[in-house]
Structure formats: structure tokens, C-alpha cells
Structure 1
């Protein structure tokens, strides 16, 4: 695979234009330099006046925010979130809190690659599948009090030069990994070097960026720990989760990983039977079995804790980034309702409140990050640098960025069906999840 063009073609850098003043090209008429300067200043002033008066709501912010943050010197990079319920130890933080803010209108901001060209999961290739409304690509996340620079592929690869970057977790982790592949691949060539035998399931894939010696892998491990049942057989009514064993594929490769992004959560909501040391220790939402109901938040905490302990156990210096929970937007409609998640704009600030479950899951991630940093520092030699990629709030405000019925090709070509599976969980690619990688870049640059 090679580099490919983004959705909106740009003029090639370095393209030469003819000029009447080239050698032997005859005479030209030149205005005095002072006149040219005044004309340029006048044109700029008129352009800025037009922008302020006539741009869509938030459009002027999309232009002025980078200028303001340049003059104010506020490129202070990543915050692991404001008041997430934990933050001591070696958890990276700074004055810029990317977890709070609002989405502002920024035409073309997310139109940076062609999802079909970089082979994203077909169900998330919304443009190819015929989604007619593409305004979801025209928003930029504006953190409160600071700026979030647009993704820079060269900067990202420089930050992880010679390293193995691994995304471990559920399909949300894979969604972000494929977004990252496309963002990087729009500027640099890459190769597909390995994948699982049943590659259509996308449970494991690995790419290489030879220009920087970077390896990018994604490991599907929906519980981080070992699991069975429904994840591999949808006819099963529940999950089997083994809290004292990690997912075998990523566990076997963990020793090769230099940067690890851990993201999990949605599978924990489903009915489950939890095991430890070969015995059932409890269930979640499965009253048919005569076992103690223990819910899912405690197993969720255990899974993150075990994963972090594994990554601290081999003495390899690495960066570990924990992704917080990104809420779905079915909002009371069933998964087979073709009218689910049909909003076309983000929620405004204060319009969408986080639920108690989303808040608790977010807090658990912060607490386990802080606890892992404290354990690591207690050994005398720090082996892990830990950060939290806090996307819960910004993701909750993007009901417009999901595939919805456009996880299928031309879903309404024969009218609106009564029943059709919809996706109000993952992000279209390109789409809002690209912002996760803008934040990830700031984390990695901060921790270099």
C-alpha cells in the first residue's frame, strides 16, 4: 500500500507555474513595493471583515483560535482530563485540558483522507456507503482555554520513530487504530505486514511505516482479559470472562510494544459470567444462573488493572495511554431501527449530560491510571509513562458522526425498511474519531 490523496485534492507542493518574467520571457510591469504592501494589507483586512460578518457560526473561531494560541503561547499540550477522579503518581498532565470544550464549525477540517483507499472497515466507510450528508466532517474540537492543533503525520511518526505502537481492546480501539493508519497513510507510504487468517474479522492487523521504522498494530481484545462465548459466537446469550488471564494474542506480543493504547468498555455492558482460578465468581445481568450478581464495574476495573500490571512487569520502558469510554448514541432506539442516530450536528455545550454509568467508567480509568503510576514509582525505577486519553465528553457530543444505517451500502435504495441494523457506536472514517488521534499526538509529544 502507498500514500494516497485526501478527499479534497490539494495543489501539489512544488508545482511550477509559468511566468511572463522568466528569463527571456519579455517585460513585466511592477508596482512599487510600498503600493503592493498597502494593497495586500487592504485585501487582508477585507477578507477578515468578511470572515467575521459572513462565516457560519463558529467559523471565525476555526481560523482565529490557532492565531490566538500562537500569540498567547498556550500550546501546553495534553491534559489527562479535568477532575477525572484520580491523577497523582506518574500520570502525565499539563495546563491544557482537552476533555472539556465544544465543537466549532471548521469546514473541511476532517476531510483529510479517503477511507476506501486506506481500507477501513467497510461498515465505517460512510462516504462509500452513500451517506449523502457530510457535514459531520466540518467540525473541530475546541478545548476550553487552549488549542488543539490539527493532526500532523510527520510529527506523529517522529514522536514514535523506531517504535511499535499497539492498540489493544475492543472495536473502538480498532476504530481509532484504523483512523490513525489513514491519517498517517495520507502523507507516508506503508505496508500491510501481518493479519489474522480470518482477516475480514479484523481481530489482528499490523502495518509498517518504513520511512520511520514504525510498526502499528491492532489487537482485538474486547475485555482486555481472556473471554469466550458471545464475542466468538453471537448465538450465545452471554460472555465468558476470565479475570485472571489476559487476552492471549496481545499478552504474547506485549514485550514488543513501546506505545500501548488500551480502550475497552462496551462489551462489559452485556450479560456475562465471570471466572477466576477456574471457578465462577459472579455474573452480570444473567439471573438464569444461580450466582451472585456483581455487575460490571468491578470486573472493568480488574481488567484494566491486570493489563497495566502486565505492561509494568517486564522492565521495558514504554508509554501506556488509557482511552476513556466513548458513549453510543442509540438514545432509546433499538439497534435495528433505521432511524437511529440520524442527527446531523453535534450537541451544543451543556445540551448533552453524561450518564452516571459513563461517568463511573471514566472515573475508573483515571483511578487505575493513577494507581498504576504509583505502583510503578514505588519500585524505585519507573518503567511506564502513563496518560489518559480523555474523550468521553467530546465523544458524547457527536451523535452525528456514526455510520447509523450507512454501515450498509446504499441502505435506502429500495425505500426505508422496517428493520435494519444501525451503528450508533463507532465513528465514520474519516470522522470524529480522528480527533482522538489529534489528542494522542499531543500526549506523545508531551511525553517524548
Structure 2
């Protein structure tokens, strides 16, 4: 990696004098379309599929949820792609995907079971509570899954979605329950500076964190955007205090950003009032040698290559261990790495008959997930964790 280097003093002075607190608008709240803000992933070449062995962090459960296998279950899926809260790029069946077996796999941990998602039971436990999912588009993928899992038991007219800045909220009115998504792919602040340069502030978080106050259950993710590079990078400079840097080891930057988040959680949240869960990195299947997700129809049964712990997980675990606040690390990486069949691939848009004859001509999304699909299992796990 290139060594960190400071911008010349004149540029630094300009930044300090003329810097404006304009927040980059990466999330267009009222659009029903799925913002593929990291569409660059679709053409990135991964060195390998990200995987990680689960740690032993626990909310009191004796079950190691992340250690198990996918079981074919004809009683799944728990909803279909007609759910009105799904965005177009994840409705793979509507977009013409010819197979549907990817919807029928249930995650079964070894030695225990994750209860089938019960919408009424979940809403009953979340009565008069706010649950917020915070992060990037993969977290929005999970939010859409959770909303579709619960919305079917709520009468028409007793459910609604509202928008507030970077947040969107599903309201179950009779339960006084809200399920929210808050756009914050770095957790810390990304702002515009002079000449529209994008500045990633490693030590600022309040502009995002103000939306997290008063929430009963907070579920976070932040990993993928930190590893964007070159033309796909989402920032031009890092800034920490009064120091502006053009480059930095991305895992050093990630550690600094997560430490800012951890300090905010430790100082501002009460563990007697708020549950905090950090979801591990969602794996990508972009490798050319057999890992591309196009036309994949079965989960992997096992891994044929050596397990690899992604750097993001090493950094995340280190930060969590240093916190006073009890944060549960929900490990979905290993289970999801088996599901190369679960991505939208070329089915992120509806195709006409001519286009269907040449599907390989389209960019393949091997990062996000078809719904119904893999994120439903994450939410079944989440529901089980919240029962403890």
C-alpha cells in the first residue's frame, strides 16, 4: 500500500477555511428503485470469496448459529417477489430468472435449529419498539427482506413507509413498531469539500449518528465500501482532525472509522435500553474461475480451498473487544459464502425476449441477493437472537 501523504499546506488551508458541511446525497429516499451505489462491485475481480470462522460471542444462546448447512425445504420461501416493498433489482423472478430453487433453502445450524420466522410473534416482541438497520445497500437488501417477512400479516391500510433524510421506515401501525433502514455505508461522515472533492472524515459521526438515537435495536454493517479503490473509490481524501491525507492503508482507515463508531456507542447508548448487533461482511462471488454467480443453481456443500478470514473481520473483532458496550457479532459470512446461487446475476432488470437470448451480455451482480433468498435466513437468525 502507498504510504500516507499529506496534501500541501496551501490545499490544507483551503480545506480548513472553505470546507462546507454538505452531506453527499448517495441515498435517494423516495425512489422505489434499489440504489446500486456500489455497482462497481459488479465488475471487480475478487482475490477470493470472503469467509470467516464465527467467534464465540453470544447473547446467552448455546447455539452456534453460523456453523451449519443449507437444507432444501419446500415450505420456503416465506413470501414471494410480489411483496410491494422489494426494489426492482432484487426481484429476480419478476426479472425473468428461470429457476427458483434458490428460494427454497433453509439454514440449519449443527446441533440446534433456528425457529421459522413468525411475523406475528416477531411484531409482538417488537411492540412499541424501533429496530434500525444501518449500513450500505447490502443492509438495505436485508431491510427489504425483513419488511417483506412481516408485512403479510398486517392489513392493508395499517402499514406505511415514510422517509426522513437518509432513513426510510416501515410502520406496523397496530403494533406501534417501526423497522428502519439508515444509509451510512462508512458509519462515519463522507462530505463534500472544495471543488466537490469528497472527504471521508474518520473521526466525525454525529451527522449519521443523530438518526440512531432512541432506537431499541440497532443492527450495523460496514465493510465493502472501505475496500473500494482506484476509479471505484467513494472518496478523494481522508481527514482526521486537521490532517488531510490522500491515501492510507484501507484497513487502517477502517479501524479508525470503526473506533469512532465504537466510541460513540460507548458514550451515547445504554445497554439496558438498546441492543446492538454488528452483522459480518456479506460475501461476493465474483471470481472468474468458477465463482461467478451467473447460472449457478445449487449452494456449495463445502469449501474446496483453505478458509480465509477477511481483514475486515480481524479489524472489526479487535474494535469490538475494546468496547465497554456489549455488541453481538452476527456472523453470516460463512453461511452466505456457500450461496453462490443466490445473487441476482444478470436478473437485475426485466428483459425482453431478444435480451433473454443473450443474458451474458449484461453486467452480473454477484454482490447483492435475490429476494426471497439468503437475507431471509439472516433475519431468521436475527429474530432468534432477539429472543434471548
Question: For residue 69 of structure 2, what is the aligned residue in structure 1?
Answer: 102
1:20-76 Cα deviation digits (max 9, x unpaired): xxxxxxxxxxxxxxxxxxxxxxxxxxxxxxxxxxxxxxxxxxxxxxxxxxxxxxxxx
Structure 2: how far apart are the matches of 1:161 and 1:312?
26
| Conservation of the 8 A alpha-carbon contact between 1:221 and 1:247 | no
Question: For residue 92 of structure 1, what is the aligned residue in structure 2?
Answer: 59
Question: For residue 6 of structure 2, what is the aligned residue in structure 1?
Answer: none
| Conservation of the 8 A alpha-carbon contact between 1:227 and 1:247 | no
Question: For residue 408 of structure 1, what is the aligned residue in structure 2?
Answer: 349
| CA shift for structure 1 position 195 | 1.6
SS in structure 2 of the partner of residue 254 of structure 1: coil
Structure 2: how far apart are the matches of 1:256 and 1:193?
19
SS in structure 1 of the partner of residue 83 of structure 2: coil
2:275 aligned to which of 319, 326, 344: 319
Instruction: Indicate the structure whose relative CO is greater, using CA pairs within 8 Å and at least 6 residues apart.
Output: 2
Question: For residue 227 of structure 2, what is the aligned residue in structure 1?
Answer: 269
Whether 2:257 is the aligned partner of 1:303: answer: yes
In structure 1, stretches of 5+ residues that fail to align are 1-80, 198-202, 230-235, 284-293, 334-338, 377-384
Residues 441/352 of structure 1: CA separation in 2 closer, same or farther (3 Å cut): farther
Whether 2:163 is the aligned partner of 1:195: answer: yes
Residues 353/123 of structure 1: CA separation in 2 closer, same or farther (3 Å cut): farther
Q: How many residues align?
A: 323
| Conservation of the 8 A alpha-carbon contact between 1:166 and 1:261 | yes
| Conservation of the 8 A alpha-carbon contact between 1:405 and 1:411 | no
Residues 406/83 of structure 1: CA separation in 2 closer, same or farther (3 Å cut): closer
SS in structure 1 of the partner of residue 175 of structure 2: coil
Residues 276/251 of structure 1: CA separation in 2 closer, same or farther (3 Å cut): same
Structure 2: how far apart are the matches of 1:148 and 1:412?
41
1:348 aligned to which of 270, 276, 301: 301
1:184-231 Cα deviation digits (max 9, x unpaired): 11222453342257xxxxx531111122211111011111111257xx
Residues 351/186 of structure 1: CA separation in 2 closer, same or farther (3 Å cut): farther
Structure 2: how far apart are the matches of 1:417 and 1:344?
16
Whether 2:337 is the aligned partner of 1:371: answer: no
Question: For residue 24 of structure 2, what is the aligned residue in structure 1?
Answer: none
1:437 aligned to which of 373, 379, 383: 379
Residues 421/259 of structure 1: CA separation in 2 closer, same or farther (3 Å cut): same
1:362-401 Cα deviation digits (max 9, x unpaired): 23333333322xx24xxxxxxxx42121101001110001
| Conservation of the 8 A alpha-carbon contact between 1:330 and 1:341 | no
1:209 aligned to which of 168, 172, 192: 172
TM-score w.r.t. length of structure 2: 0.76
Residues 226/114 of structure 1: CA separation in 2 closer, same or farther (3 Å cut): same
| Conservation of the 8 A alpha-carbon contact between 2:293 and 2:341 | no
Whether 2:205 is the aligned partner of 1:246: answer: yes
Residues 326/93 of structure 1: CA separation in 2 closer, same or farther (3 Å cut): farther
| Conservation of the 8 A alpha-carbon contact between 1:324 and 1:390 | yes
SS in structure 2 of the partner of residue 180 of structure 1: helix
In structure 2, stretches of 5+ residues that fail to align are 1-51, 230-234
| Conservation of the 8 A alpha-carbon contact between 2:190 and 2:199 | yes
Structure 1: how far apart are the matches of 2:125 and 2:360?
49
| CA shift for structure 1 position 124 | 0.5
Residues 251/146 of structure 1: CA separation in 2 closer, same or farther (3 Å cut): same
| Conservation of the 8 A alpha-carbon contact between 1:387 and 1:443 | no
Residues 304/419 of structure 1: CA separation in 2 closer, same or farther (3 Å cut): same
> What is the RMSD computed on CA atoms of the aligned residues?
2.7
| Conservation of the 8 A alpha-carbon contact between 1:354 and 1:393 | no
Question: For residue 260 of structure 1, what is the aligned residue in structure 2?
Answer: 218
Residues 254/142 of structure 1: CA separation in 2 closer, same or farther (3 Å cut): same
Structure 2: how far apart are the matches of 1:430 and 1:328?
18
Structure showing greater Rg: 1
SS in structure 2 of the partner of residue 406 of structure 1: coil
| Conservation of the 8 A alpha-carbon contact between 1:268 and 1:296 | yes
